[in-house]
């Protein structure tokens, strides 16, 4: 059994509120939403962060961004949204399986803090 939380969600060992699943990506609602819409989009393959994924499999990185925009469209975020990859310790990453945050449903602020 994997020790990675998001690999366990991919495997169905931990329940998640899924909004999309393909062979390559899974999207599910964040357990602690920071906006009215807050979905995490992850590859089914394990990469620790965006750096590792982009280096090893840039095509997957592109497909993950496409999936994130598809999720935003399916969630009705016509007015815009934010896609975030927290990357590494200084990036504030807490789960070490690459994930895109799709945030929307409110006006986003900048800088993000
Ligand atoms: P990070 O801080 O690594 O960029 O984002 C990790 C995200 O995963 C956080 O927004 C956190 O709320 C979310 N998260 C952590 N554990 C779980 C879980 O068990 N289920 C779901 N759906 N989200 C989780
Ligand atoms: Zn993993």
Per-10-residue mean pLDDT of the chain, 113 residues long, equals: 94 98 98 98 98 98 98 98 98 98 97 86
Nearest to 99 by CA among 1, 2, 9, 3: 9
How far is C-alpha 17 from the geometric centre of its chain's CA atoms?
A: 13
Residue 50: CB atoms within 10 Å:
19
Instruction: Annotate 6-30 with b (16+ C-beta within 10 A) or e (fewer).
Output: bbbbbeeeeebeebeeeeebbbbbb
> Does residue 99 carry a catalytic annotation?
yes
Please tell me the distance between residue 30's alpha carbon and the centre of ligand 1 in angstroms.
Answer: 6
pLDDT of residue 12: 97
Ligand 1 binding site (Cβ under 6 Å of any ligand atom): 5, 16, 28, 30-32, 40, 86, 92-95
pLDDT, residue 113, reads 73
Pocket test for ligand 1, best of 27, 34, 40 (most atoms within 8 A of CB): 40
- Predicted confidence at residue 1, as pLDDT, reads 74
Instruction: Please tell me the number of the ligand nearest to residue 15's CA.
Output: 1
Q: Kindly state which CATH superfamily the domain 5-104 is placed in.
A: HIT-like (3.30.428.10)
Q: So what's the pLDDT on residue 49?
A: 98
Domain definitions of the chain by residue range: 5-104
Taking the alpha carbons at both ends of the chain, their separation in whole angstroms is 36
**Alpha-carbon gap, residue 14 to 16, rounded angstroms:** 7
Question: Would you mind telling me the total number of residues written for the chain in this entry?
Answer: 113
């Amino acid at each position: 059994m994997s020790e990675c939380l998001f690999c366990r969600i991919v495997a169905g060992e931990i329940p998640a509120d899924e909004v999309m699943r393909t062979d390559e990506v899974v999207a599910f609602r964040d357990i602690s939403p920071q906006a009215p819409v807050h979905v995490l989009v992850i590859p089914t393959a394990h990469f620790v962060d965006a750096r590792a994924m982009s280096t090893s499999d840039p095509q997957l990185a592109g497909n993950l961004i496409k999936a994130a925009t598809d999720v935003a469209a399916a969630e009705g975020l016509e007015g815009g949204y934010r896609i975030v990859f927290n990357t590494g310790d200084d990036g504030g990453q807490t789960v070490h399986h690459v994930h895109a945050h799709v945030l929307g449903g409110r006006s986003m602020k900048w800088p993000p803090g």
